[in-house]
Structure 1
């Protein structure tokens, strides 16, 4: 724990400012115009919670940066400010904006509105965090009429009770006009701040707008003349989230804009971990997004996660073997695609094993002295609330059987392993997962099983009437032990305290959806080694890939800070990111229109992950690759043997373009990856063919597996890579490869063509850019694309699809030629090409909308 507390660091992140930024905070502090009451209380609370001083200091500095970019509340002339803070999922964004609220209140902001998610459970949880960190009283108790209960002091209130902000919402209820009106007498002359935590819901926003208008009429202009801060938590949700109709999106967006316009002085700060959203990506035109009133035109700030952050890098890249377990037994029982009436008669063995792992892990945590801490398990395996209910029932049965077994035989020591199959199964999970864990001998685990199972609850968290609140306040000296079964509600902002085991069976390919569903990210002090994520193999690849995309955006933010770029320029950069194609098209999925998207390929890798399953075309593709190599050799290019294949350096661009024109991933209009469209790529290359893309390197990758038979290719013996393919798509005639990182190859492929010193220097630069200054096992291959003066790289690879899927589709494929294009940095202005996305085609490619049954309508 000493290392955890004192060996943790946190960077300050990057800031991209508008050209007219003028700081005011420093002078205001020197002039004594700003107090320190709310922030000093909150800082003491963070310290009491055990946060390292370096992290608290970094939070102090970052919240100062944000506050400095808000309007000066002492400036009485009308102003409005719009900004965005980009963090990581479960990395402490709520703690950050709670600190910002405290400092804004100290500076003189008198009305603060927090818009927190689209479900009651998230709004209630956020209210509780604001109660603890800013208000200092339990607003749920304040809402009761019993005066004896009215003064429950919590959190920051235990340090200093000279004043308390007024809350017009509480942990029990969202905003209500009648309740707010009865509290207006407390507002008085705005000597203390007024705060509201509301749901992102059009009817709630309508009520608030009506009340503010009525109240401002009755009270003159007193309220609307106050400086107002609006925090939009999960700012991308209900903006592009496809669970909402476009009308609902427009309504909520318009209501937020109207709310801001009511005040003469207002600030909007959107917090998000997934900035692929409509404030950046407007599917119609580039210009339209910049005109939007919520576009963060004044500032964008990137939050660095502390070095102890348990995120995608650790889970899916650095320590994948430790933390990730693959789900491969669900299709006959709970297929990825199922209907609302799908029965759940039994559970997949993998889910039963995950439940057992949770029980064992909780026992180990108790043995480590963490019994007062909370422990949670997440089960997110269906988008339908009805199916979630059936899952919850079956998981509860599993826990009940284990509880009964332990009650009967748990005290019999080693003999229980022979007499009771349930206890033997727990022992098998302990042996496979945790035998080497510190303080986790089987005898200690078995001795703790009874107390774990007595406390364990299995709850449903969704929009159904069966749903139960995740109440972590009831833990007491033993903490809460809970298995939460849910879907959409578990995917957005909701914090599962002490999350140890996750079982995730979803097939969404949307960046924002996948990242937000990553509730397993966060902080795991004292039990990180026990955390496990059960997930399908494809999901592992998508998360690793998405991590790289998000990492790219954070790095881009830092580069744009150094270049003194503006938020508008960063917005354009995000919108031209190749991965924004998916988000853009999905945002307009219902329209069936063709829409132009500008795509930038500099410093990106494009791969053929989807190819039509057609034998004549596959053979023609191999001939195109062999023809390319033959032409290069004829032109005098040498074929050099490398440890993992063969390298050709200095191939003329015309040969590369000829190959790309001949190679086909599709026939007719079959749906494949739009990024491998030959027109898109050739347009990009052609604009640079006479300069930075004039000469190419070609790497023919060959697997190092000893048990694979080599295949002949252009006179060379090439060992193919065996990769899984999507069985459903194979039946429909499309090979969809799923490699380890949703990539066909590995990061080190892109180092080919570089000198050893260049590779060493690139890795060192990457190491120094990381907060922990450590070089991870898997580096971001973008570092190789950024090496000055490097050639573009074409990677050719023979891939052997796993045969079951292709045979069921009527084909037996031995080797498929796949390619990857690794583009270096570009110095040519603009750097983008226009691509027209047909949304009907994208729907065929990525599937129908991921709409939760529970998210339809205003069910809450």
Structure 2
């Protein structure tokens, strides 16, 4: 039990451990020892009574909090015209921040609180000093993780900004009323300190207002927590803003009428001087503005026509889309302003033209000043943890919580209960008693069992939610809601009366328990279920008797409610006035972004969009699952699992590139160009990329390898003929090469050609065909890219070609009379009708096989330098002994800054693996030609130029399934 004396002991030991953590690792043993020592010391001093203090609670809470680690944020910035200002003196007396810090210390691990403190200081320092006179404009972006606590972070930033002197704070909170109200409630608790309402005189203290109740500290508010509490003119007429008063908070939707009303109010009631450039407009010169744009990639980005003219110059008369236009006009109304966009999916924002500007709206929202990348805590369940990561041995590290759904539609995906491309008038039919597929019934049953287990673990007062997202159409959602609600009602009646199908349902649930829940819990090695509100460890699944489940089922099912959450439904997700809510939420877009599903346990997800940002935001199952991770389930299709795996890999690749760029002084503009050149991460809405018909692809600084391969023997034979045509054109190969690797000599065996002409490589790539499933590696586009770089920039003109020797000694290809190449083996991951996929193709050491000793050492040095700066949970305990691919490609192309190594962007590397078809795919005959896999390590280049891949809008929509 936690009391004041227990809290005193907890605080004292925590302070001591924070100091010790500077010099040593804090283990459970260290914590236990320090609790005992401090308890003895405080008891002797008469500060606590030993028999009153709950040392078990203190020890368990500290172990939990110190077991969670968070890496440092990384930033890239452009400090042109920026004046550094945030020193220790300016950090003194920050009352808004101090009370918020005390508030979140009760809910978050101290490592998370410290991380918020450090990262918000980093962001605030990159804004301008609000006390600086003159005209200034800082625009940046903070990239977090889906469901990782971005609201807590920007609430901390708002508190510190208010302490520093920002007077007008506008939070752009999504496009729906419920999300805006949810954000207002969070800011009521974390910044304002009272419940906002239409009645300006009623201010019941909550959150930080209970910590520091000085009414002189209370900020002013212009919006309130009801769903009708958005900014409106009538309410605004009561407001008066002067620089002597406390800061004002506006929490508004990204809605044209709302933003227009806010702009007019600012112009009419806040602005004090005429704009020097436009005398018809007023300018706010006396109040510094901070805009926080939550989900900055949603609605804020200008999706209008191109902002440049045919000659590449900026079109200053371009007419932006309404929401983008209004946000920019609000910014343009202030002479001193800062804009910070928060998002987990920054792809659309990076596509904003870095020089975009119009006469009446001012600059576009490109984060020209800075981009800050937040690290996720070690207890965060994100894409990489959910879906694993790609390695040379295949996919590893995925949590065993995903279940494949393949009974929702016909084999051709055109008919059935919920085909991917159904229309708004679709009627979901199914022959089962429930009227929906067995996979959905199993998902609902898993949710029911999860609720029971949480009850048995003492979580009865905590919320539990399930997400069902199968259609974007409200009518279809409501039909699914009816069927699921009927099923829950059926369960309720059966368990209440214990008649009819009671025995059959109990047996079915018991089978699910024994075949799914028990083995899944066993697979999550080292999973430690603890809860800060309880003493000791919670019940593991293996410690729960089935009869306990059966006895708890009736009461649990009675509490489950099924709700439609969409634009027309009367149901809303309102957790604040209830305890232990058990909700099955059936919905679409309103559930897809920003809206928090408390205690999300099960997800049934069929939404077919393959847009990177859309899919990531729909992933409401990402986040924190303290005390119930082993109960979580994601039911989705094999295609979407593959896409999420691909997104996880590409997003991690982008973050790694960001960290590498931060270590060598990159700017937001540099990073923007990198993202725009990335052949995968271009995939956001085509409107946000300014063109619905052009896919610009560049391979600058990338590793491209074929991980999707043909099963058709004819296609395999065609690619093998292309390979043989290449090797014949290159002449006699060298059977081995030796390279200096540190203090050793490394020998690579195979067939090698150096100084091959780019013409030979392009000819091969035009003959060699990649599969339609190849997201990143398109042989025809790579051929065009190499041609462009060679002809226009004299880069990629000379190539090393390597055919790597494998391990299948009884299957060989003769490169010459004296050179035989054994086939390679790669573990298959998925088999489709015409193709199969593998993990990594290229062995990591092969990407640098053309490097001499100096270049290899330079890449390793850069890799080690980057490793030393990392503090995140993925940092290995030992320094790298091999250079990473990112730095291999940087040295290959740029070579700057390390040991006077000169880059060689004129050189490329093509690695070829001949793979045993029988070992990769058992259905391929032994007499089939080898499967030819290729990989290219493209150098990082300052002259990289994307090549345009033309597609029509119909093809684009079909390929990426845009509705």
Mean Cα deviation higher: 248-257 or 235-244: 235-244
Distance in 2, matches of 1:701 and 1:364, equals 50
The aligned runs of 1:110-509 (5 Å cut-off) are: 110-139=167-196, 142-143=197-198, 150-163=202-215, 164-172=218-226, 173-184=228-239, 190-216=244-270, 225-239=286-300, 250-277=321-348, 279-282=349-352, 288=356, 292-317=363-388, 319-320=397-398, 322-332=400-410, 333-345=417-429, 346-409=435-498, 420-435=503-518, 437=521, 438-440=539-541, 441=544, 442-463=546-567, 465-476=568-579, 479-509=580-610
Query: Which residue of 1 is the match for residue 767 of structure 2?
Result: 662
Deviations 1:265-290 (A, max 9, x none): 1111111111111x4215xx775599
Q: 1:822 to 1:639 in 2, by over 3 A?
A: same
CA contact (8 A) 2:663 2:866 kept: no
The TM-score normalised by the length of structure 2 is 0.73
Cα drift, residue 712 of structure 1: 9.8
Secondary structure (helix, strand or coil) at the match of 2:585 reads: strand
CA contact (8 A) 2:198 2:229 kept: no
Distance in 1, matches of 2:404 and 2:766, equals 38
Secondary structure (helix, strand or coil) at the match of 1:694 reads: strand
CA contact (8 A) 1:538 1:738 kept: no
Query: Which residue of 1 is the match for residue 704 of structure 2?
Result: 605
CA contact (8 A) 1:13 1:558 kept: no
The aligned runs of 1:673-752 (5 Å cut-off) are: 676-683=780-787, 686=790, 694-699=799-804, 737=835, 739=837, 744-746=838-840, 749-752=843-846
What RMSD over aligned residues (CA atoms) do the two structures have, in Å?
Answer: 4.4
Distance in 2, matches of 1:703 and 1:450, equals 59
1:84 to 130, 133, 141: 141
Distance in 2, matches of 1:339 and 1:841, equals 17
Distance in 2, matches of 1:364 and 1:243, equals 51
Q: 1:67 to 1:761 in 2, by over 3 A?
A: closer
Distance in 2, matches of 1:313 and 1:599, equals 25
Query: Which residue of 1 is the match for residue 78 of structure 2?
Result: 18
Distance in 2, matches of 1:359 and 1:155, equals 33
Segments of structure 1 that go 5 or more residues without pairing to the other structure are: 411-415, 641-645, 728-734, 807-812, 851-860
Cα drift, residue 381 of structure 1: 1.3
Deviations 1:287-342 (A, max 9, x none): 55999431111111111111111111110005435121111211132222212122
Q: 1:550 to 1:847 in 2, by over 3 A?
A: closer
Distance in 2, matches of 1:102 and 1:316, equals 36
Distance in 2, matches of 1:485 and 1:56, equals 34
Deviations 1:555-578 (A, max 9, x none): 222222222222222211221122
If each structure's helix is expressed as a fraction of its own residues, which one has the higher value? 1
CA contact (8 A) 1:236 1:272 kept: yes
Secondary structure (helix, strand or coil) at the match of 2:482 reads: helix
Q: 1:818 to 1:352 in 2, by over 3 A?
A: farther
Query: Which residue of 2 is the match for residue 413 of structure 1?
Result: none
Q: Which has the higher contact order (CA 8 A, sep 6+)?
A: 1
Deviations 1:779-808 (A, max 9, x none): 9x99346447795533455779999xx9xx
Query: Which residue of 1 is the match for residue 753 of structure 2?
Result: 651
Distance in 1, matches of 2:447 and 2:140, equals 41
Cα drift, residue 621 of structure 1: 2.3
The TM-score normalised by the length of structure 1 is 0.81
Q: 1:314 to 1:111 in 2, by over 3 A?
A: same
CA contact (8 A) 2:752 2:802 kept: yes
Distance in 1, matches of 2:786 and 2:225, equals 57
Distance in 2, matches of 1:108 and 1:353, equals 54
Secondary structure (helix, strand or coil) at the match of 2:347 reads: coil
CA contact (8 A) 1:17 1:566 kept: yes
Q: 1:491 to 1:799 in 2, by over 3 A?
A: farther
Secondary structure (helix, strand or coil) at the match of 2:69 reads: coil
Secondary structure (helix, strand or coil) at the match of 2:120 reads: helix
Query: Which residue of 2 is the match for residue 620 of structure 1?
Result: 718
Q: 1:585 to 1:609 in 2, by over 3 A?
A: farther
Distance in 2, matches of 1:343 and 1:710, equals 55
Deviations 1:694-750 (A, max 9, x none): 21333488999xxxx9999999677797675777xxxxxxx5x574xxxx4336744
Distance in 1, matches of 2:335 and 2:557, equals 56
CA contact (8 A) 1:88 1:273 kept: yes
Distance in 1, matches of 2:669 and 2:135, equals 23
Query: Which residue of 1 is the match for residue 98 of structure 2?
Result: 40
Q: 1:721 to 1:273 in 2, by over 3 A?
A: same
Q: 1:675 to 1:161 in 2, by over 3 A?
A: farther
CA contact (8 A) 2:304 2:320 kept: no
Cα drift, residue 450 of structure 1: 2.7
Distance in 2, matches of 1:610 and 1:586, equals 31
CA contact (8 A) 2:805 2:823 kept: no
Distance in 2, matches of 1:818 and 1:219, equals 70
Cα drift, residue 56 of structure 1: 0.7
Q: 1:439 to 1:745 in 2, by over 3 A?
A: closer
Mean Cα deviation higher: 87-96 or 578-587: 578-587
Secondary structure (helix, strand or coil) at the match of 2:684 reads: helix
Cα drift, residue 72 of structure 1: 1.2
Q: 1:674 to 1:405 in 2, by over 3 A?
A: same
Distance in 2, matches of 1:395 and 1:233, equals 33
Cα drift, residue 367 of structure 1: 1.3
Query: Which residue of 2 is the match for residue 829 of structure 1?
Result: 942
Q: 1:372 to 1:428 in 2, by over 3 A?
A: same
Secondary structure (helix, strand or coil) at the match of 1:582 reads: coil
CA contact (8 A) 1:175 1:208 kept: no
Aligned positions, number = 792
Deviations 1:512-557 (A, max 9, x none): 1111111111111111222221121222222222122222222222
Higher alpha-carbon Rg: 2
CA contact (8 A) 1:127 1:171 kept: yes
Cα drift, residue 475 of structure 1: 2.4
CA contact (8 A) 1:4 1:308 kept: no
Cα drift, residue 257 of structure 1: 0.6
CA contact (8 A) 1:238 1:244 kept: no
Distance in 2, matches of 1:816 and 1:338, equals 41
Deviations 1:787-837 (A, max 9, x none): 47795533455779999xx9xxxxxx98894634241553x4334443343
Cα drift, residue 43 of structure 1: 0.5
Distance in 1, matches of 2:175 and 2:930, equals 46
